[in-house]
Amino acid sequence: MDTIKSFTLDHDEIVPGIYCLGEANGVVTYDLRFKVPNGGDYLSYAALHSIEHLFATVIRNGPLKDKVVYFGPMGCRTGCYLLLYGVQEKEAKEATVWALEQCLLLDEVPGTEKKQCGNYLEHDLIGAKKEIQAYLAVLKGE
Protein backbone atom coordinates (compact mmCIF):
# COMPACT_ATOMS: atom_id res chain seq x y z
CA MET A 1 0.00 0.00 0.00
CA ASP A 2 1.09 3.59 -0.51
CA THR A 3 2.24 5.53 2.52
CA ILE A 4 -0.27 8.26 3.26
CA LYS A 5 1.01 11.80 3.19
CA SER A 6 0.86 12.53 6.91
CA PHE A 7 3.21 9.57 7.53
CA THR A 8 5.82 10.98 5.14
CA LEU A 9 6.34 14.04 7.36
CA ASP A 10 9.46 13.67 9.48
CA HIS A 11 7.88 13.70 12.94
CA ASP A 12 11.30 14.35 14.49
CA GLU A 13 11.15 17.79 12.87
CA ILE A 14 7.62 18.76 13.93
CA VAL A 15 7.11 21.33 16.66
CA PRO A 16 3.76 22.73 17.78
CA GLY A 17 2.15 24.88 15.10
CA ILE A 18 -0.20 24.60 12.15
CA TYR A 19 0.85 22.76 9.02
CA CYS A 20 -0.78 22.45 5.62
CA LEU A 21 -0.60 18.83 4.48
CA GLY A 22 -1.85 19.55 0.99
CA GLU A 23 -5.01 19.68 -1.06
CA ALA A 24 -7.07 16.97 -2.70
CA ASN A 25 -10.30 17.54 -4.60
CA GLY A 26 -10.46 21.08 -3.24
CA VAL A 27 -10.19 19.95 0.36
CA VAL A 28 -7.15 21.29 2.22
CA THR A 29 -5.90 19.30 5.22
CA TYR A 30 -4.35 21.11 8.16
CA ASP A 31 -2.33 19.57 10.96
CA LEU A 32 -3.06 21.48 14.18
CA ARG A 33 -0.13 20.24 16.22
CA PHE A 34 -0.46 21.02 19.90
CA LYS A 35 2.41 18.87 21.16
CA VAL A 36 5.90 17.78 20.14
CA PRO A 37 5.60 14.29 18.60
CA ASN A 38 7.02 11.57 20.82
CA GLY A 39 7.85 14.20 23.41
CA GLY A 40 6.34 12.36 26.35
CA ASP A 41 3.75 15.10 26.92
CA TYR A 42 0.44 14.32 25.24
CA LEU A 43 -3.05 15.72 25.34
CA SER A 44 -5.07 13.73 27.86
CA TYR A 45 -7.93 11.73 26.41
CA ALA A 46 -10.47 13.86 28.25
CA ALA A 47 -8.93 17.21 27.25
CA LEU A 48 -8.55 16.14 23.62
CA HIS A 49 -12.13 14.90 23.56
CA SER A 50 -13.35 18.23 24.91
CA ILE A 51 -11.18 20.15 22.42
CA GLU A 52 -12.88 18.13 19.68
CA HIS A 53 -16.36 19.09 20.89
CA LEU A 54 -15.47 22.74 21.56
CA PHE A 55 -13.54 23.48 18.37
CA ALA A 56 -15.89 21.54 16.08
CA THR A 57 -18.87 23.43 17.48
CA VAL A 58 -17.21 26.84 17.17
CA ILE A 59 -15.69 26.37 13.71
CA ARG A 60 -18.96 24.96 12.36
CA ASN A 61 -20.81 28.03 13.65
CA GLY A 62 -18.24 30.60 12.53
CA PRO A 63 -17.47 32.51 9.33
CA LEU A 64 -16.03 29.42 7.64
CA LYS A 65 -18.89 27.11 8.58
CA ASP A 66 -19.69 26.29 4.95
CA LYS A 67 -16.04 25.36 4.29
CA VAL A 68 -15.55 22.94 7.17
CA VAL A 69 -15.27 19.35 5.98
CA TYR A 70 -13.97 17.76 9.17
CA PHE A 71 -12.34 18.43 12.52
CA GLY A 72 -11.10 15.65 14.73
CA PRO A 73 -8.37 14.40 17.04
CA MET A 74 -5.15 12.62 16.12
CA GLY A 75 -4.92 9.16 17.64
CA CYS A 76 -1.41 9.96 18.89
CA ARG A 77 -2.90 12.75 21.04
CA THR A 78 -0.47 15.40 19.82
CA GLY A 79 -3.01 17.41 17.85
CA CYS A 80 -6.02 17.52 15.56
CA TYR A 81 -6.87 17.55 11.89
CA LEU A 82 -8.88 20.34 10.30
CA LEU A 83 -10.13 19.85 6.75
CA LEU A 84 -11.40 22.93 4.95
CA TYR A 85 -12.82 23.26 1.48
CA GLY A 86 -10.73 25.66 -0.59
CA VAL A 87 -9.30 27.63 2.34
CA GLN A 88 -5.64 28.58 2.00
CA GLU A 89 -3.07 28.69 4.75
CA LYS A 90 -3.28 32.31 5.95
CA GLU A 91 -7.07 32.24 6.24
CA ALA A 92 -7.00 28.80 7.87
CA LYS A 93 -4.55 29.99 10.49
CA GLU A 94 -6.63 33.10 11.21
CA ALA A 95 -9.77 30.99 11.50
CA THR A 96 -8.00 28.55 13.82
CA VAL A 97 -6.82 31.33 16.14
CA TRP A 98 -10.29 32.85 16.12
CA ALA A 99 -11.95 29.52 16.88
CA LEU A 100 -9.54 28.71 19.71
CA GLU A 101 -10.24 32.10 21.28
CA GLN A 102 -13.98 31.44 21.02
CA CYS A 103 -13.50 28.04 22.69
CA LEU A 104 -12.01 29.81 25.71
CA LEU A 105 -15.22 31.83 26.09
CA LEU A 106 -17.43 28.76 26.47
CA ASP A 107 -18.19 27.67 30.01
CA GLU A 108 -19.38 24.21 29.11
CA VAL A 109 -18.44 21.57 26.58
CA PRO A 110 -21.15 21.28 23.90
CA GLY A 111 -22.68 17.92 23.10
CA THR A 112 -21.99 16.13 26.36
CA GLU A 113 -25.39 14.62 26.95
CA LYS A 114 -25.42 10.82 26.90
CA LYS A 115 -27.48 10.84 23.70
CA GLN A 116 -24.96 13.15 21.97
CA CYS A 117 -21.58 11.53 22.56
CA GLY A 118 -19.94 8.11 22.62
CA ASN A 119 -18.13 8.67 25.91
CA TYR A 120 -19.99 11.53 27.50
CA LEU A 121 -18.35 11.24 30.93
CA GLU A 122 -14.82 11.57 29.56
CA HIS A 123 -14.51 15.35 29.23
CA ASP A 124 -12.26 17.96 30.80
CA LEU A 125 -13.19 21.57 30.07
CA ILE A 126 -10.49 23.05 32.31
CA GLY A 127 -7.82 20.77 30.86
CA ALA A 128 -8.98 21.57 27.33
CA LYS A 129 -8.79 25.30 27.97
CA LYS A 130 -5.27 24.98 29.40
CA GLU A 131 -4.13 23.16 26.27
CA ILE A 132 -5.90 25.66 24.01
CA GLN A 133 -4.25 28.58 25.80
CA ALA A 134 -0.81 27.04 25.43
CA TYR A 135 -1.43 26.30 21.75
CA LEU A 136 -2.76 29.80 21.10
CA ALA A 137 0.42 31.25 22.61
CA VAL A 138 2.43 29.18 20.11
CA LEU A 139 0.29 30.27 17.15
CA LYS A 140 0.53 33.91 18.15
CA GLY A 141 4.28 33.64 18.64
CA GLU A 142 4.12 34.51 22.32
Q: Is residue 100 within 8 Å of residue 16, measured between CB atoms?
A: no
Q: Which is nearer to Zn ion, 28 or 54 (CB)?
A: 54
Min. distance of Cβ 22 from Zn ion in angstroms?
28
Min. distance of Cβ 86 from Zn ion in angstroms?
28
Distance CA(57)–CA(141), nearest Å, equals: 25
Min. distance of Cβ 53 from Zn ion in angstroms?
6
Q: Which is nearer to Zn ion, 27 or 106 (CB)?
A: 106
Question: Which residues of the shown chain bind Zn ion in the complex (CB under 5 A)?
Answer: 117
Q: Which is nearer to Zn ion, 23 or 122 (CB)?
A: 122
Q: Which is nearer to Zn ion, 17 or 110 (CB)?
A: 110
> 122-126 contacts: CB < 8 A, separation 24 or more?
122/45, 122/46, 122/49, 123/46, 123/49, 123/50, 123/53, 124/44, 124/46, 124/47, 124/49, 124/50, 125/50, 125/54
Residue number, nearest CB to Zn ion? 117
Min. distance of Cβ 109 from Zn ion in angstroms?
9
Q: How many of the other CB atoms lie within 10 Å of CB of 44?
A: 14
